[in-house]
Amino acid sequence: MRRTISLAALLAVTGAVSAGANSDLQSLIDDPNQWVIQTGDYANQRYSKLDQINKENVGDLQVAWTFSTGVLRGHEGSPLVIGDVMYVHTPFPNTVYALDLNDNGRIIWKYEPQQDANVIPVMCCDTVNRGVAYADGKIFLHQADTTVVALNAEDGSVVWSVKNGDPSKGETNTATVMPVKDKVLVGISGGEFGVRGSVTAYNISDGSMAWRAYSMGPDEEMLVDPEKTTVLGKPIGKDSSLSTWEGDQWQIGGGTTWGWYSYDPELNLVYYGTGNPSTWNPAQRPGDNRWSMTIMARDPDTGMAKWFYQMTPHDEWDYDGVNEMILTDQEVDGQMRKLLTHPDRNGFAYTLDRETGELLVAKKYDPAVNWATEVVMDPDSDQYGRPQVVAEFSTEQNGEDVNSTGICPAALGTKDQQPSAYSPKTETFYIPTNHVCMDYEPFRVSYTAGQPYVGATLAMYPAPDSHGGMGNFIAWDNIKGEIKWSIPEQFSVWSGALATAGDVVFYGTLEGYLKAVDAETGDELYRFKTPSGIIGNVMTYTHDDKQYVAVLSGVGGWAGIGLAAGLTNPNDGLGAVGGYASLSDYTALGGQLTVFKLPD
State the Cα–Cα distance between residues 464 and 347, nearest whole angstrom: 16
Alpha carbons within 13 angstroms on the beta-carbon side of residue 482 total 5
Angle ∠(472,476,478) on CA atoms, nearest 5: 145
Please classify residue 495 by burial: count the beta carbons closer than 10 Å to its beta carbon, then call 0-12 exposed, 13-18 middle and 19+ buried: buried
Sign of CA dihedral 65, 71, 74, 75: negative
SS3 content of the chain, % helix, strand, coil (to 5): 10, 35, 50
DSSP 3-state of 288 = coil
State the Cα–Cα distance between residues 167 and 572, nearest whole angstrom: 22
Sign of CA dihedral 87, 502, 175, 197: positive
State the Cα–Cα distance between residues 19 and 9, nearest whole angstrom: 19
Helix (H) or strand (E) holding 563: helix 561-565
Helix (H) or strand (E) holding 71: none
Specify the amino acid at residue 81.
Answer: V
Catalytic (active-site) positions = 318
Cβ atoms of residues 53 and 61 within 8 Å: yes
Pairing of strands 498-500, 47-48: parallel
332 Cβ contact partners less than 8 Å away, ≥ 6 residues apart: 339, 360, 479
State the Cα–Cα distance between residues 273 and 260, nearest whole angstrom: 8
Of the candidates 588, 573, 594, 562, which has an alpha carbon nearest to the alpha carbon of residue 192?
573
State the Cα–Cα distance between residues 383 and 385, nearest whole angstrom: 6
Residue 332 CA: distances (Å) to CA of 44, 233, 380: 20, 18, 21
State the Cα–Cα distance between residues 345 and 362, nearest whole angstrom: 13
